[in-house]
């Protein structure tokens, strides 16, 4: 069974009397353990498609299956549960709570899982250690470099043992050296932990880390190349 299967996905946004078609008949399969870079110009549909994969938005037509589950049939609470347990998110802007420590930021996804405070702390500490931030647990975001903040975000994405990480321009706010370090970390998570990485980027040097590059144009997939 594929990890992700999209069949004929369309997405239409209505603005007044105007329909804007953001995705047009998009179909693909992503298997467990893949590392996919999604590329395209602004307005190509890549971010819309990422939002659908992340259960943040629903398609207008077509079918999205995640581990065989028809995501389009789920209600709001079921979608929230899928996002919490199946998908880890990493964003360009890190999306950390500024007045909260690294440890507490990583603990956030576990607040709805029924774990004790002790269990949450242990798992968060382990996740921070896995991304090279042991000893930084008590630091707030403004006490961390951009690369360290992104590592906290990756630890937060990992802490529920989600099989998928969706990374939206994760190196967009980082310098070249730090970008390479973050991409190396994602590569290690993919190869050593078999975590499926789906990455949105417009940079060729970032897409070079992936195993597969999918390019969007005008809401359609125009190329899908495996390396």
Looking at the domain assignment, is residue 68 inside a domain? no
**Residue-by-residue DSSP string for 154-177:** HHHHHTT--SEEEEESTTTTS-HH
The answer to whether residue 156 is domain-embedded is yes
* Assigned domain for 11 exists: no
- Is residue 87 situated within a structural domain? yes
- The predicted-structure confidence for 50-60, as pLDDT tens digits, reads as follows 999 999 999 99
Specify if 92 maps to a domain: yes
135-143: long-range contacts at Cβ-Cβ below 8 A with a sequence spacing of 24 or more? 136/102, 137/101, 137/102, 137/103, 138/101, 138/102, 138/103, 139/101, 139/102, 140/98, 140/99, 140/100, 140/101, 140/102, 141/94, 141/96, 141/97, 141/98, 141/100, 141/102, 141/105, 142/98
CATH at residue 211: 3.40.50.300
- Model confidence over 63-105: pLDDT tens digits? 999 999 999 999 999 999 999 889 999 988 888 999 999 999 9
Confidence of residue 138 (pLDDT cuts 50, 70, 90): very high
Task: Flag whether pLDDT at 184 surpasses 90.
Answer: yes
Residue 67 lies in a domain: no
Give the strand pairing for 35-39 and 18-30: unpaired
pLDDT per residue as tens digits for the range 23-37: 999 999 999 999 999
Judge whether 201 lies within some domain.
yes
Position 174 in a domain = yes
Q: List 166's β-bridge partners, or say none.
A: 89, 198
Q: How many domains does the chain have?
A: 1
Please give the C-alpha separations between residue 209 and each of 23, 64, 149, 174, in angstroms, as whole numbers: 26, 26, 21, 16
Claim: this prediction has a pTM higher than 0.75 = yes
């Amino acid at each position: 069974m594929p990890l992700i299967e999209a069949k004929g996905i369309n997405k239409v946004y209505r603005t007044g009397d105007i329909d804007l078609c953001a995705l047009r008949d998009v179909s693909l399969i992503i298997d467990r353990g893949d590392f996919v870079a999604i590329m395209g110009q602004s307005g190509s549909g890549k971010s819309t498609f990422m939002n659908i994969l992340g259960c943040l938005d629903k398609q207008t037509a077509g079918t999205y299956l995640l581990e065989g589950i028809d995501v389009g049939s789920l209600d709001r609470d079921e979608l929230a549960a899928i996002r919490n347990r199946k998908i880890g998110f990493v964003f360009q802007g890190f999306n950390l709570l500024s007045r909260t420590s690294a440890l507490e930021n990583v603990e956030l996804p576990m607040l709805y899982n029924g774990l004790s405070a002790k269990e949450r702390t242990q798992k968060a500490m382990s996740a921070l250690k896995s991304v090279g931030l042991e000893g930084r647990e008590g630091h707030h975001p403004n006490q961390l470099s951009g690369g360290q903040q992104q590592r906290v975000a990756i630890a937060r994405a990992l802490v529920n043992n989600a099989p998928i990480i969706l990374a939206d321009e994760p190196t967009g706010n980082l310098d070249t050296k730090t970008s390479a370090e973050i991409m190396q970390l994602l590569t290690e998570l993919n190869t050593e932990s078999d975590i499926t990485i789906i990455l949105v980027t417009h940079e060729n040097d970032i897409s070079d880390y992936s195993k597969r590059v999918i390019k969007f144009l005008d809401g359609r997939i125009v190329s899908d190349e495996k390396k």
